[in-house]
Amino acid sequence: MILDRFANPARFVRLANSVLPWCIGATVILLSVGLYLSLFVAPADYQQGESVRIMYVHVPAAWMSMFVYSCIAIASAVSLIWRHPLADLAANASAPVGAAFTFLALVTGSLWGKPMWGTWWVWDARLTSVLILFFLYLGHMAIASAFDNPERGSKAAAVLALVGFVNVPIIKFSVDWWNTLHQPSSVFRMGGPTIHTDMLWPLLAMGLGYTLLYIVLLLLRVKSELIGARLRTLDSLRQDAA
């Protein structure tokens, strides 16, 4: 099994060390290019004016909120089925990052909604389901650290992640299933993107930059946890020897 190759913590740390510099460099470049295109090159919308520029932060953050939770669900399934030693670490390391993306999506969505809808918040299907996703992230983090036995906490958090995954397709298709104020998808749709390329390329650059940022933070957090666990083991052995 391919996953078994990365079960060795030392091997994973070596891989992270070799990949991180490239990921960090690509992240900085893509986010810099994406922000420049979004703020200075992309045109203002004929209806929304300059407020449309919030889209370049809000939409990729919303994409990442669902993507990161999907990664957590996959890692949770791997942990429960195959007992992979790094799966729990990946899920637990991803949760705060996903919660941050979701919070960013909620805040920027409110800032965008005020000039467009005349209100900061409405309890429609899309906004409510994203708020539920944020609470699922918080619940995952709370449950993972609520037990004295870390293994039990990780297992309970994994079950929550798999049960809560049903909310991800609800978020995606809520604008199609129910009548909401939120506009339908204009990028990832069956008929292809409906957004103009002058706006699409900055949006995709920001989305890819966010994705690489998640990978960087994930690798750093898992690597830090592995090194911390190794140091704790060495300290325990030294105390036993003393």
Give the global pTM: 0.90
What is the mean predicted confidence (pLDDT) over 212-234? 89
Comparing C-alpha atoms, which of 99, 108, 107 is closest to residue 217?
99
119 lies in some domain: yes
- And the tokens for 112? 């965008």
pLDDT at 1: 47
Q: How confident is the model at residue 194 (pLDDT cuts 50, 70, 90)?
A: low
In a domain, 142, yes or no: yes
State the Cα angle at 144 between 141 and 150, rounded to 5°. 150
110 is a domain residue: yes
In a domain, 144, yes or no: yes
Q: Kindly state whether residue 187 falls inside one of the protein's structural domains.
A: no
pLDDT for res 229: 77
**Is 228 within the bounds of a domain?**
no
Please state which of the ranges 19-28, 98-107, 223-232 shows the lowest mean pLDDT. Answer: 223-232
* 32, two tokens: 């810099």
Q: What is the domain range of residue 166?
A: 55-180
DSSP conformation class of 49: B
Q: Where are the alpha helices (DSSP H) in 37-149?
A: 55-82, 87-117, 125-144
Please write the tens of the pLDDT for every residue from 47-88. Answer: 788 888 999 999 999 999 999 999 999 999 999 998 887 999
End-to-end CA gap in the chain: 41
Q: What is the pLDDT of residue 190?
A: 55
80 is a domain residue:
yes
User: Is the pLDDT confidence value at 4 over 70?
Assistant: no
Separation CA 49–CA 189 (nearest Å): 25
Q: What's the average model confidence in pLDDT over 83-94?
A: 91
How many independent structural domains does the chain possess? 1
What are 49's strand-pairing partners? 45
The answer to whether residue 115 is domain-embedded is yes
